[in-house]
Structure 1
Amino acid sequence: MGPFPVHPHHGSPFTGTRGQRTIRLLILLSLTLLVGSSAIGQAQPSRKSQVRTLSMTGFYDAPQPLPAGKPGDLIRSESFDDYDLPLSVNVVRILYHSRSASGQDVATSGVVLLPAEKKAPSGGWPVIAWAHGITGVARSCAPSLRRNLGHGPFLSMYVNLGYAVVATDYTGLGTNFRNAFLDAPSNATDVIASIPAARQAVPQIGSRWIVMGAAEGGLAAIAVAQKENEIRDPGYLGAIVISDIASAKGMLAPPSSSIKLTSLAYATKTVYPDFQPSDVLTEKGMTLYHAIEQTCSDLGSISEPSVTESVKSSWHENKLLLQYLDRSTPAVSLTYGPVLMISSDYAPSTAEAISNMCRLGDQVQWLHYPDVDPGRVIGDSVRDQIAWIEARFAGRKAARTCAGTP
């Protein structure tokens, strides 16, 4: 028997008025995930547009030179209402100080979502910090430049349940700095710094918060929990990871894509200036490298050659590239606060990560679901996400999966 029991999870039904509201939202969210439309927004008037992206504006341009500031210091903010979100959701864009993967003072963008026309509770709105998955490395790949913010219906659901959502873009997505693709430590810094910046922009935001990361954003969420073991922010309450979690190296293991591997070369150059992308990329790979600097692959404007055409066979032997990947290895240091891991049933890398977390003494709970599609797992687990988040803000003790522990 392993270090923890493995049981599929079945959520218990909610009761009462709030529970009925939750069930309705769950149904709407399920429709959203299945048909790809903003079903939650269809329950009420919504800001609609056929255009998926928004134009880059001067809001995203950091002052030159950038005035010195601590991580979390707000540079500027603005209300913005052109997102394809329910009218029950107000949005404020933020630009704030953070630190790059190499430790430099940088500007990072993001958004704050909060309930519209509602009075904040005593102590302010409870906060969910959102860590998104990979979107690219170009400035235009910022989720805040997508009309639905990438996961707009999902995030709006939480706003309608009475939470503020703070969603960073990560440095270099939106702002004019280089992005560190898939770099958990720097992405986590951006998440943590977004919280005080959001409070400066929106005073109704409370001091207590949790972090939630989906897909590759799960690595950032774990890294937040690891960093909080040193920071010990009294307002931080825990982390949710919705991903078949693996190291960055594992996520890029074959079969991978030439865009992911080329983006990895770009990010390695961001952190290690001496790295030469041509050491691992072919001529076609370098053409792709320059293309991803300008646009996002998911918009269909990049022609992607095969991995063998783009990447040299010895790419996985490059020391700087491997050093970069090792920065994002999960479960290597103690996390602070409870962690809820959500994955599919078939997730051997997640099982390994949780086994390591148990050995470290982390307070981790693992819930897994039969569907292997990550998009469906995030929907199937909503009931359990909500219950876990409510318990953290209520001060109740979190469950622990590791065998032999309470």
Structure 2
Amino acid sequence: MRRRFRGPRFAFAYFAVVLAVAGALVAAVALRIAGDALERPGVDEFYAQPPDAADGDPGGLVKSEALLGAPLASSAWRIMYRSTTADGDPVVVTGTVVVPWGPTPPGGRTVVAWGHPTTGSARDCAPSYGFDPFVGIEGLRWLLLRGYAVVATDYTGMGTDGPDSYLVGGTAGANMLDAVRAARELLGAQASDRVILWGHSQGGQAALFAAERAADYAPELDIRAVAVAAPAADLLGLMSAHLDDISGVTIGSYAFQAFADTYGDSVPGVQLDSILTPEAIAILPEMNELCLLSNIDRLHEIGEPVVGRFTTSDPTTTPPWSELLAENSAGSVAFDAPLFVAQGLDDALVVPADTTGFVAHERAQGMSVRYDQIPFATHATVAYLALPGMLEWLSRVTGD
């Protein structure tokens, strides 16, 4: 049937709607920028821990503050809450909670716990501390439109004081689960016990460890689905692929320090000089203070001279580092929730073959896994390009 042109009145109405929507978006962006600008002068006060901050049960809310520049049609808060390390030591963690406006569905909103990709390991690299704490939550707008509440942890050692925890799976997994607990305390009846775990890269590892630990660590939570994009699931493969490039220097700087902080007192031989060269140890303090996205040029400037001379031996075959890389690789425990894995075929950081091997391993454990391999997707773009498939899959497996 031939489409009829409806004339200038229709055209005017159409463009009026477009302009109204555009105006609302501009206003929302302006409000967010204005809100962030107003909050910046006092932002450091929030990240200072009260003397008794770590006293209490994991997931307990220490404090919260409303964010003035929340995304369109939503409310948001910074939170500080209690969690644990991989060894069970108490820590204090920060993060962000976002909830859409509108009626709460019967039984409360499903909570999506977001695990962010690598931003660095220093305090200032925490997403919640950034000028726009929401920009890095991939798929946030679509998740809010579905009525989900979203909580995003910064991970231990970022935002507020704590040990470095980069790629320490047990710590990151606990941080994600305890973030859900803290969000539920904050939101009350708005938040249900239904949880979706969603993470990219480093956050994919965190989401997988959260899923593997949930039954024992947080049995009150109902993990409905787990979705990951280019997950750092196989640390042996990840490190092996980048032993002699700048990615290996950057990842290694963050990770070896975190492993030393976490396991140095409990695992013999976990000292930095047992795996890193003197040149590597010399640059470590500055490398670990630099945030990935805002300091990429400086990271390359100080890291590239030690490429090929970063480690004294291959950490993927040198105990105890090889054992720690294996211990912090996902897949040791199967979980009941369905799993979605997305991998970009042009990803130069997380090698597609490693993700394919991980998926095969999970399926061999009897898990339900959907695997989307996305042509042309890089490590940076894969989470966004995976969203249509991931959201369709979520509707099917959760009924949301």
TM-score bracket for the superposition, by shorter chain length: 0.7 to 0.9
Question: Which residue, out of 182, 195, 198, partners 2:167?
Answer: 182
Alignment of 1:337 onto 2:321: no
Alignment match, 2:321: 321
Alignment match, 1:17: none
Query: Where does 1:56-205 land on structure 2 (aligned, <5 Å)?
Result: 57-82=44-69, 86-116=71-101, 118-149=102-133, 150-152=135-137, 154-203=139-188, 204-205=190-191
The alignment partner of 1:111 has SS state of strand
After superposition, the CA RMSD in angstroms is: 2.7
Q: Distance in 2 between matches of 1:41 and 1:338?
A: 37
More displaced stretch, 320-329 vs 302-311? 302-311
The alpha-carbon deviation at position 322 of structure 1 amounts to: 2.4
More displaced stretch, 234-243 vs 253-262? 253-262
Of the two, which has the highest radius of gyration?
2
The alpha-carbon deviation at position 123 of structure 1 amounts to: 1.7
Q: Distance in 2 between matches of 1:41 and 1:299?
A: 29
Length-normalised TM-score, structure 2: 0.80
Length-normalised TM-score, structure 1: 0.79
Alignment match, 1:370: 375
Q: Per-residue displacement from partner, 1:117-150 (whole Å, max 9, x unpaired)?
A: x222222222111011122111111111123335
Alignment match, 1:388: 393
The alignment partner of 2:71 has SS state of coil
In structure 2, the CA distance between the partners of 1:308 and 1:342, relative to structure 1 (3 Å rule), is closer
The alpha-carbon deviation at position 294 of structure 1 amounts to: 3.2
Alignment of 1:349 onto 2:354: yes
The alignment partner of 2:362 has SS state of helix
The alpha-carbon deviation at position 186 of structure 1 amounts to: 1.2
More displaced stretch, 147-156 vs 124-133? 147-156
Which amino acid letter does the alignment assign opposite residue 304 of structure 1? I
Alignment match, 1:238: 225
The alignment partner of 2:342 has SS state of strand
Would you say the 8 A contact 1:111–1:144 is kept in 2? Answer: yes
Which amino acid letter does the alignment assign opposite residue 75 of structure 2? N
Which amino acid letter does the alignment assign opposite residue 80 of structure 1? L
The alpha-carbon deviation at position 65 of structure 1 amounts to: 4.7
The alpha-carbon deviation at position 226 of structure 1 amounts to: 1.2
Would you say the 8 A contact 2:166–2:258 is kept in 1? Answer: yes
Unmatched 5+ stretches in structure 2: 1-21, 347-351
Taking only the aligned residue pairs, the percentage that are identical comes to 24
The alpha-carbon deviation at position 315 of structure 1 amounts to: 5.1
Q: How many residues align?
A: 353
Would you say the 8 A contact 1:226–1:336 is kept in 2? Answer: no
Would you say the 8 A contact 1:221–1:241 is kept in 2? Answer: yes
Alignment of 1:304 onto 2:297: no
Alignment match, 1:214: 200
Q: Per-residue displacement from partner, 1:12-43 (whole Å, max 9, x unpaired)?
A: xxxxxxxxxxxxxxxxxxxxxxxxxxx99946
**Dislocated runs of 4+, deviation >6 Å:** none
Alignment match, 2:273: 278
The alignment partner of 1:166 has SS state of strand
The alignment partner of 1:299 has SS state of coil
Alignment match, 1:36: none
